Amino acid sequence: MDSPEEPNIQTKKDNVGFLSLSSPEPILKRFKKIGSWALVASMALGVGNFNVATTTAAYYGTDYLWVFWAGAICYFFLLEATTRIYLYSGLTPARLFKKINKGLSVFLFFYVVFAAIATISFELAIFGLIGTVFGVNYYVMAFAVGSSCVLLLILGVYSKLEKIFNALMIFLIATIISTAISIGWPVRPEGIWISNITPTMVREAIPMMMSIVSTIVSALFFLGYPYFMKEKDWTPERFSKYKEKAKVLGWARLDILIGAIMGPFLAIPMTAIVAKIVYPLDIPIRSATDLMMVMEPLLGRWSSLVWGAGLLVAGFTSSVGLLLLASYITLDTFELNPKLGTNSSKILIVAIFLGSTPLVLLNINVVFLTLFVSALRSIFYPLTAIVILYAINKTEYSGYLQNKKIGVGNLIGGFAVLVLFLLAVNGVFELVNVQF
């Protein structure tokens, strides 16, 4: 850290800030280095995101597309800040939490375990429902897809996983956009940009905004990118000098940006589909699987199968990502090697999957578990955002890569903390059945 190329990290005014640290490489050259964008995107495009986009459009049409950008901004901040912290200090999220306070690390571990089990249980049930549309037994489909998620992680290596995810995400994008185009893609532009919002719309959108942000900033996905960097050997030990770090951060930011905007980008055609099919007819739609059932009599079986395939891919990639990140953070918490392919990661991935199967196999109602995870989430989201915002402003953790005290980085970070705090408050109101 004593390279003459580096700024004086002891002087607060010399830190480079959020915008000043620019990559020396042209942007087209950076595209050759990225690959984790699909992993980042998949974690913001799971079944939950499909459900929220579907129900939002069913009740409001396309008026509230702009809300998805709030979630993307929060997601980008959390990913980008943890990346800078890791690139400077080598602290992954689990180790950062432990260094700041051991109690935070314990809380992170328990949240990860319960969130992983609850989310995978829910997605296994969705796989089963999709199977019934395809004419496959509910349990056979649920466990066939779930087992394939586990096998992909156990038998694969990270570089191959990136390529598989890139292909799956391209397929998912093509599926959603082609379905929207086939019905005319009738998106009204006033719903996309924040400039067209009225105060009344903001008040009406708060509960929906919380749901959307919750699905995009889901579980522990925003803590994942430093672990992807470890897998690719983008480590502070290998890239120790200032210019080298700037180059790596340029790769990472492009990866993160593409992944983060996939949520709002695909929300546009997703809501267009529902707005065209369901909104004018006032059909009650509560989930993306409900929409799949409605599509067949209105548009034909092909549309139902295409939408179901997209939903299946979204759930598959989200489940794989969740298993992977849960293993990373759990192993890291116990100071084991958080890398894909180790015996510890294989055992943990299988254990998490098996822990989620009884809820589906025995038809156990997951409402209690979901409420428990929601209660933990109400604490976890704003607490994590505050910890990350604190660390990205401390020389000890982020050095010359820290935010400027008054700058874009802290403005985005403050917005993320505010939104996630509102999410927590809304979660508490939901738990006590009070309308926010």
Tens of each residue's pLDDT in the chain, 436 residues = 333 345 444 433 344 445 445 555 555 556 666 666 677 776 666 666 676 677 767 666 666 677 777 777 877 888 899 999 999 999 999 999 999 999 888 888 888 878 888 888 878 888 888 888 778 888 899 899 999 999 999 987 787 888 888 888 888 888 888 777 776 665 554 555 455 555 555 555 555 555 555 555 454 567 888 998 999 899 999 988 888 888 888 888 888 888 888 877 777 777 777 777 766 666 666 666 666 677 666 666 677 777 778 788 888 888 888 888 889 999 999 999 999 989 999 999 999 999 888 877 776 655 566 666 666 777 787 888 899 999 999 999 998 888 888 888 888 888 888 877 776 676 666 555 544 4
pLDDT at 88: 92
Specify the fold of 19-431: Amino acid/polyamine transporter I (1.20.1740)
Burial class (CB in 10 A: 0-12, 13-18, 19+), 31: middle
DSSP annotation of 63: T
pLDDT at 186: 53
Q: What distance in Å separates the CA atoms of residue 190 and residue 210, rounded to the nearest whole number? A: 21
Q: What angle do the packed helices 138-155 and 343-361 form, to 10 degrees?
A: 170
Helix (H), strand (E), coil (C) string for 250-303: HHHHHHHHHHHHHHHHHHHHHHHHHHHHCHHHCCCCCCHHHHHHHHHHHHCHHH
The pTM for the full model equals: 0.83
What the block records as the tokens of 334 is 């116990």
Structural domain spans, the chain: 19-431
Q: What distance in Å separates the CA atoms of residue 287 and residue 48, rounded to the nearest whole number? A: 9
pLDDT at 48: 64
Per residue in 367-400, pLDDT (tens digit) is 566 666 666 777 787 888 899 999 999 999 998 8
